[in-house]
Amino acid sequence: MDKTLLSSRFKILWLTLCQPHNSLEIEYLPVYTPSDEERENPALFASNVRKLMAKALEAPLTDLSFDDREISLSQGPLRVYDYSCLLEFNMLVSRLGQRAGTSEKALEEQARRARKLQGDRLGLDDFAQFLDLPVTDTLTQVHSMFDQHGDGQIDIRHYVIALSTVHRPSESMKTLKLAFKMYENKEKGEVIEEDLAAILEIMLGVQEVELSGLFLSLDGPDTNKITYDDLHHFIEQHPHFVQKYLDFKNHPRKFCIARPKSCNGKTHDKDD
């Protein structure tokens, strides 16, 4: 369990115990008898009971799970920027049973198999075979999320990166390292700029990542290639890496007014 999450739970418990008096009101709702349709569909039964409880509490309904909260409140230098697509992805893979069965070992195995494909793109049937799952509506939805060209083919590496991101949203450097293993060349362990942009787009949940600011700021030859160790070191040295060295669609820097020189994506000042 994440140490920050654990400490926050103890803090809530401690603050509760510090109050000499805590009021509690209990309301017993009428017994809910499921209909024939609900007996056949437990998910429908649970949903309808949930709606009744929310109505009694006068509270809004939300489909966010505890895992979704972890994604939306992710921490780290590459924490999720726009989590809307990743929340949808998390919901779908949870339905497939892939979320519950995910572990670091399972992710490493999927990454190893994805690397062997060397960027070969998979249709729906091949995707189902890769995951050892039948073709269903939910699996089709997951596949379509990564169909960038609309031709029914996906890069399985994108799926593995997304799965790693939702599995451990506050451990972004582990996901980055896993992604490098799938993309890097064997000789020098380097990833080209185009592939790094694709990796970061998925991890951050953004579109059209442009990395000229990063590569112009790197010490060394301008090869538009980078190793994991070099990128990791650069991110450690620049904690505001995403804000200062990346450009992407709808980046807040594009809309700033007070400091127009930093709006054009060409400012590469070092962090203080």
- In whole angstroms, what separates CA 8 from the centre of its chain? 22
Instruction: Give the single-character DSSP code of 60.
Output: -
Whole-number Å distance between alpha carbons of 174 and 246:
20
- In 3D, which of 256, 160, 53 has the Cα closest to residue 267? 256
Predicted TM-score (pTM) of the model is 0.71
Q: Where are the domains of the chain?
A: 34-61, 69-262
Q: How many beta carbons lie within 10 A of that of residue 1, not counting itself? A: 6
Count of alpha carbons within 13 angstroms of residue 92, beta-carbon side: 20
Q: How many CB atoms lie within 10 A of CB 255?
A: 8
Other residues' Cβ atoms within 10 Å of the Cβ of residue 264: 10
Residue 70 has pLDDT above 60, yes or no: yes
Using CA atoms of 191, 214, 85, 143 in order, give the dihedral in degrees to the nearest 10: -20
Residue 266: pLDDT band with limits 50, 70, 90: very low
Tens of pLDDT, residues 147-190? 989 999 999 999 999 999 999 999 999 999 999 999 999 888 99
Enclosing H/E stretch for 122 = strand 121-122
What would you report as the CA-atom Rg of the chain, rounded to the nearest whole angstrom?
A: 23
Please say if the pLDDT value at position 257 is more than 50.
no
